Amino acid sequence: MKAPILAAAGLSLLAGTAAIAQPAERSATPMTRADMSQKAAERFQKMDLNDDGVLDLADSELRRQQRIARIDTDGNGAISAAEREAAREARQARRAERREARGVESDRRGHGKRWKRGMRGHRGMMGGRMMVRADANGDGRITLQEMQAHALARFDRIDTNSDGTVTAEERRAARAAMRAERQERREQRRAERASQ
């Protein structure tokens, strides 16, 4: 019961973001364990919306309410089609600004809007699984210590030479390994479906 609850909380809390402890940032700057611990603490503070020291469904509900309030510009408690469209356009404008600031083409991977929608869903699902994994004691709530421990465990897996710093090369290698694992799982599922 706790895993689905945490997964739901994770979907809401992490939707649209990179994973909580993902050292594979877009930056080419090396990252140390201390940097990762600090980033996890900063992410935790942002996610702990009610400042009770844990991440749980209460934070998820507050985030949902905040999203609705941002979109409901006339304050009538309902989101109209026009408000939804305005929110979508504003989101696209912010993304375009971020891409421009990074010097990235708007469709750098050549997949267009369909790819972006798919990744948004994928990241949310991945975030939910990560939230469940971060809950070390299985109580359905994540503390700062659990979040930092989970972030550092991911960091250590990517730090292949164990020097306490994750480089751009290690990040690229980790991403490539993850892509290869996903492809292998996809192929296994296809083979299983074909044999049935």
Percentage of the chain beyond pLDDT 90 is: 53
| Backbone φ and ψ of 29, nearest 5° | -75, 130
Please give the backbone phi and psi of residue 165, each rounded to the nearest 5 degrees, phi first: -135, 135
44-103 pLDDT tens trace: 999 999 999 999 989 989 998 998 999 999 988 888 999 999 999 999 999 999 988 887
- Percentage helix, strand, coil, to 5, in the chain? 65, 5, 30
pTM given for the model = 0.63
pLDDT of residue 104: 64
Q: What is the pLDDT of residue 158?
A: 94
Category of 60 on φ-ψ map: left (φ > 0), alpha (ψ -120 to 50) or beta: alpha
CB 168 within 8 A of CB 22: no
Is 2's pLDDT higher than 90?
no
Q: Which residue has the higher pLDDT, 131 or 143?
A: 143
Residue 105 pLDDT = 59
Residue 149 clears pLDDT 70, i.e. is over it: yes
